[in-house]
Amino acid sequence: MAGVSTATVSRVLNGSDKVRESTAARVMKVVEEMNYRLDHVARRMKVKSTDSLVIGLVITDIGNPFFSNVAKGVEDVAFRNKHIVMICNTNESPEKENFFLNSLLSEKVSGAIIVPTTGNGNYSFFEGLVQDGFPMVMVDRKIEGLNIDSVSINNELGGYLATRKLIESGHKRIGIVCGIKGLSNTTERLSGYKRALQEAGIEVTDSLISYGNYIEEGGREAMSELLSLKNRPTAVFSTNNLMTLGCIKEIYHRKLSIPDEIALIGFDDSTWAEALIPPLTTVKQPGYELGANAAELLIKRLSSPMSSTMNIVLNPEMVVRESCGVK
Amino acid sequence: MAGVSTATVSRVLNGSDKVRESTAARVMKVVEEMNYRLDHVARRMKVKSTDSLVIGLVITDIGNPFFSNVAKGVEDVAFRNKHIVMICNTNESPEKENFFLNSLLSEKVSGAIIVPTTGNGNYSFFEGLVQDGFPMVMVDRKIEGLNIDSVSINNELGGYLATRKLIESGHKRIGIVCGIKGLSNTTERLSGYKRALQEAGIEVTDSLISYGNYIEEGGREAMSELLSLKNRPTAVFSTNNLMTLGCIKEIYHRKLSIPDEIALIGFDDSTWAEALIPPLTTVKQPGYELGANAAELLIKRLSSPMSSTMNIVLNPEMVVRESCGVK
DNA sequence: ATGAAAGCGCTAACAA
DNA sequence: TTGTTAGCGCTTTCAT
């Protein structure tokens, strides 16, 4: 319609190369007029897969504000780089994780950002993808032994800081509500907790360590266990936001007062943490930054697949409010 | 490799047609062995676009728990139907909305689920898409005059119920913190508020109506305005969860007590509503169901493009806790 | 029940 | 600077 070949149209649309200005203008005019839209799917058949302008994001729970912030960070950076993102929600199921990754591969996405479901379920599958050179970056959780980019927070430090804060407030019997056994961040937060105790000369007591699987109901049950102990803790460190909500509900249920009868520190500073009474002391995890950094890392890797992998570790920060007992 | 033509492989992989069992088995064996994966992109070049197995979701704020629940609902239903979803986050920007919709079209998605940014910014654009037969369903917000599927909640009823509850608790000066001017749900919630007042013979006072743009900071400012009134309200209805958080922070800041000095009802029952002191009374919006229904509607439409459009309206529910003053 | 072959819309190499 | 053309991997008619 513009009296030029398809090749020229392609050149104009890709803003590239040496096309005479007048020709480009003529093409663009027709493009506008007929509302022509490049077929991105056909394009992806020719272009190398790192140029697909689509990236995948596989997360474990889009309903969790922490992860939805991660998603927002990914989204924003992707948009700024003209990429679009396919979000998949695994609900911690390795089967769904496997299915989604295969789908993304079939979709010829340029790469993927992944919060792995468990430490090992799909290990050999991941390994194969890495060997095939599929660009991936792990976020929030790592898988040991896999040489790929990752962005995570210093969970050990987070666990340490929270526990130390509680110790500073005079507590000696400090319980912890852990997440899912076997996940790197669970292990790390727990080991930070232990380090703080040991440093203060407090013995680590097994019965004070409980697990809540990173969900609200689990947190409530774990807190219930802890509070049912004959010699119950005077303070508890809950290692994720959903479980913290469960903990709080259990505490209210038993009509105990925070922080006098039971001090509490959470993990993940959610918008609502400040609105609680008393306002919740938490370890702040920069979810948005986590996502944004992961997306930047992935997009960088697309253009330089050979550069050596890197692990970015963001430091968590204590947000001291009132639930831990000292201002 | 299996000694058959590509046509036969295609038939086997699509589980269709008349292929001899033994042939199919032979093909599948090779597929497994060589880890063959169908190229979904190439497939989409041949198949009609309603069979692409990809749908788009364009929402305004993935960081808002309400919308992330919507996304989760969409995701789950999509997965069950073997679809994958591309999520785009507009941040209420009509430009981004326009860009994303074009991208989705370029990606040849089967259809899209959309939370429109404003009542009219891209109206004619949407209209064009509808005329071209692009399957869309609006969720949460509607655009007047567009004949397409929608899933929303009865916002007017939500506004009415909340306000009536406050009236029942004996309040006569009731403020409202509205969302973004011009959005259908803002208007509807406000009109429910007015109806309840009128029904009770209470005059609608302009100074008691403020706007907070559906964000936390806006909610805080709106609440501040209301509380600065010489004759301030004794109760406030905040029309979304983020603004409610802002309201609460402002109330704490002024050291007022809920519900004695100021009663409060929120909109959107978030996980944390119950953990506040006093627990927050809210109008519960079924975000997950909203998303799930929208996805079901869209997927149905893909197979029957001609059936008449429908509007699904879900009813909100009051969750009475303590912040409104009566148990 | 299976194969041969056309063609989806694009980009890139080569030619002019 | 622009055009010609091959071919990306698949599905689908039409033959066989």
Task: Give burial (CB, 10 Å; 0-12/13-18/19+) of A20.
Answer: exposed
Protein-to-nucleotide distance from the CA of A302 to the C1' of D8, whole angstroms: 20
What mean pLDDT comes out for the span B203-207? 97
Please check whether residue B189 is in contact with residue B178, taking contact to mean a CB–CB distance below 8 angstroms. yes
Q: Is the CB of A39 under 7 A from strand D?
A: no
List bases in chain C with any atom under 7 Å of a protein Cβ.
Answer: 1-5, 7-13
pLDDT at A1: 84
pLDDT one-digit tens code per residue, B111-164: 999 999 875 678 889 999 999 899 999 999 888 888 999 999 999 999 999 999
Residue count (chain A): 327
pLDDT at A327: 56
- Closest residue of A to B250, CA-based? A275
> What is the Cα–Cα distance from B282 to B317, expressed in whole angstroms?
8
List bases in chain D with any atom under 7 Å of a protein Cβ.
Answer: 1-5, 7-13
Protein-to-nucleotide distance from the CA of B215 to the C1' of C13, whole angstroms: 54
- Identify all chain B residues contacting A108, using CB atoms and an 8 Å cutoff: 39-41
Whether B271 and A245 lie within 8 Å, measured CB to CB = yes
Strands A317-319 and A281-284, sheet pairing:
antiparallel
Residue B238 β-bridge partners: B177
Whether A271 and B68 lie within 8 Å, measured CB to CB = no
Q: Is the CB of A20 under 7 A from strand D?
A: yes
Confidence band of B16 (pLDDT split at 50, 70, 90): confident
Confidence band of A173 (pLDDT split at 50, 70, 90): very high
pLDDT one-digit tens code per residue, B259-281: 999 999 999 888 888 888 889 99
Whether B75 and A85 lie within 8 Å, measured CB to CB = no
Sorted by sequence, the CB contacts under 8 Å of residue A178 that are 6+ apart come out as A186, A189, A190, A209, A210, A211, A212, A222, A239
Spatial CA neighbour of B91 closest among B125, B123, B119, B63: B63
pLDDT at A85: 94
| DSSP-derived secondary structure for B157-188 | HHHHHHHHHHHHTT--SEEEEE-STT-HHHHH
Task: Give burial (CB, 10 Å; 0-12/13-18/19+) of B252.
Answer: middle
> What is the Cα–Cα distance from B95 to B90, expressed in whole angstroms?
8
pLDDT one-digit tens code per residue, B68-122: 999 999 999 999 999 999 999 999 899 999 999 999 999 999 999 999 987 567 8
Q: Which residue in the set B35, B37, B216 is minimally distant from A271, CB to CB?
A: B216
Per-chain mean pLDDT for chain A: 93
Q: Which residue in the set A84, A103, A107 is minimally distant from B88, CB to CB?
A: A84
> What is the Cα–Cα distance from B223 to B75, expressed in whole angstroms?
35
Protein-to-nucleotide distance from the CA of B74 to the C1' of C6, whole angstroms: 38
Name the residue with the least CA to C1' distance from nucleotide C5. Answer: B7
Residue B175 β-bridge partners: B236
- Closest residue of B to A249, CA-based? B275
Q: Which residue in the set A44, A103, A276 is minimally distant from B276, CB to CB?
A: A276
pLDDT one-digit tens code per residue, A59-71: 999 988 899 999 9
Whether A84 and B100 lie within 8 Å, measured CB to CB = yes
Beta strands in A118-262 (DSSP E): 136-139, 149-153, 174-178, 209-211, 235-238
pLDDT at A306: 86
Q: Is the CB of B18 under 7 A from strand D?
A: no
pLDDT at A270: 84
Protein-to-nucleotide distance from the CA of B43 to the C1' of D5, whole angstroms: 23
| Tokens 């990914």 -> residue | A74
Spatial CA neighbour of A55 closest among A296, A288, A290: A296
Q: What is the DSSP letter of B302?
A: H
> What is the Cα–Cα distance from B51 to B45, expressed in whole angstroms?
11
Whether A119 has a pLDDT exceeding 80, the answer reads: no
Helix, strand, coil abundance in chain B, percent, nearest 5: 45, 15, 40
What Cα–Cα distance (Å) separates residue A67 from each residue in A230, A288, A290, B274?
Answer: 37, 9, 10, 21
Whether B272 and A274 lie within 8 Å, measured CB to CB = no
Strands B281-284 and B317-319, sheet pairing:
antiparallel
pLDDT at B156: 97
Q: What is the CA radius of gyration of chain A?
A: 24
Protein-to-nucleotide distance from the CA of B132 to the C1' of C2, whole angstroms: 38
Spatial CA neighbour of B111 closest among B49, B42, B40: B49
Whether A37 and B106 lie within 8 Å, measured CB to CB = yes
pLDDT at B325: 87
Whether A249 and B68 lie within 8 Å, measured CB to CB = no
pLDDT at B184: 87
For residue B261, the distance in angstroms to the closest alpha carbon of chain A comes to 17
Q: What are phi and psi of A73, to 5 degrees?
A: -60, -45
> What is the Cα–Cα distance from A199 to A203, expressed in whole angstroms?
10
pLDDT one-digit tens code per residue, A121-163: 788 899 999 998 999 999 998 888 889 999 999 999 999 999 9
Output the pTM of the full model: 0.90
For residue B310, the distance in angstroms to the closest alpha carbon of chain A comes to 27
pLDDT one-digit tens code per residue, A17-62: 688 999 999 999 999 999 899 999 999 999 998 999 999 999 999 9
pLDDT above 70 as % of chain B: 99
Q: What is the DSSP letter of A217?
A: H
pLDDT at B65: 87
pLDDT one-digit tens code per residue, A75-103: 999 999 999 999 999 998 999 999 999 99
